[in-house]
Amino acid sequence: MTEQIPFAAVEFAANPEPRCACVLLLDTSASMSGARISELQEGLSVLKAELSQDLLARKRVELAIVSFGGSVRMLSEFTTVDQFEPPILHADGLTPLGAAVTTGLELVRNRKRVYRQNGIACYRPWVFLLTDGEPSDVWQPAAASVRHAETAREAAFFAVGVGEANLDVLGQLSVRQPLMLRGLQFRQMFQWLSTSLKSVSHSGVSDELALHNPTAPDGWAKL
């Protein structure tokens, strides 16, 4: 049999660094419109800018962006930071949170498979959920998937609520304690995310996450 060459090979030949996949699940339902969506948009640029400054992180961290407002949409496929362009967000529709979480977990699972096919080492992927409302779909199966992924160390799941987000639901979705964003401190949140991703992508691959506490008095989150 003549072996086929997967197209991805070139990207991993050019850059064989271990990868840290990170999916951002961003709530873009109608309730996010106005200041929230524009601050969030700004936050994405901050994330890129901060990660770009780190020579190793920019080759190792891969970002993908999924929005859920009305429907679940893939806004940006996995790409290393140096190639990443923040997509433009539009707030509209309901909050299909459950479907978004399932999509996010699916994405990291597929991405890990691509890594494995290409002999690329990887760090535990991150799924980072941000929402300001109540799920408008059935989210319980998604919660089960999150628990499974966490137990199998397939992904680390983080949930952050904004404004009137239902912390109860987030608490049941996430194995980790969900956090509430203070005001609209998206910028600070993404700075924290970038610092965390940087330290993950520098530490040993399996190091337990030793992150700055975002709920410190000067942090961006509250419990």
Task: Tell which one of 32, 51, 59, 81 touches another protein (CB under 8 A).
Answer: 59
To another protein, the closest distance from the beta carbon of 18 in angstroms equals 7
Here's the x/- map for another protein, 101-130, by CB under 8 A: it reads as -----------x--xx-xxxxx--------
DSSP per position, 116-155? HHTT--BPPPEEEEEESS--SS--HHHHHHHHHHHHTTS-
State the number of binding residues for another protein (CB under 8 A).
Answer: 41
| Residue 189 dihedral angles phi and psi, to the nearest 5° | -65, -45
To another protein, the closest distance from the beta carbon of 166 in angstroms equals 26
Task: Tell which one of 106, 164, 168, 207 touches another protein (CB under 8 A).
Answer: 207
Task: Tell which one of 1, 3, 218, 223 touches another protein (CB under 8 A).
Answer: 3
**How big is the CA angle at 193 (ends 192 and 199), to the nearest 5 degrees?**
90
Q: Using the rule CB under 8 A, is 148 a contact of another protein?
A: no
Q: Between 46 and 159, whose beta carbon lies closer to another protein?
A: 46
Structure tokens at 4: 């086929």
Within positions 151 to 190, which residues make up the interface with another protein, using CB under 8 A? Answer: none
Which are the contacts of 116, defined by CB distance < 8 A and separation ≥ 6? none
Q: Between 88 and 216, whose beta carbon lies closer to another protein?
A: 88
Query: How far lies 210's CA from each of 120, 173, 197, in Å?
Result: 24, 22, 11
Question: Exposed/middle/buried for 109, CB within 10 Å: 0-12, 13-18, 19+?
Answer: middle
First-last CA distance in the chain: 57
**Crossing angle for the helix pair 35-52 and 186-202, nearest 10 degrees?**
30
Task: Tell which one of 36, 78, 85, 136 touches another protein (CB under 8 A).
Answer: 85
Residues near another protein, by CB under 8 A: 3, 5, 9-10, 12-18, 38-39, 41-42, 45-46, 49, 55-56, 59, 75, 83, 85-88, 112, 115-116, 118-122, 202-207
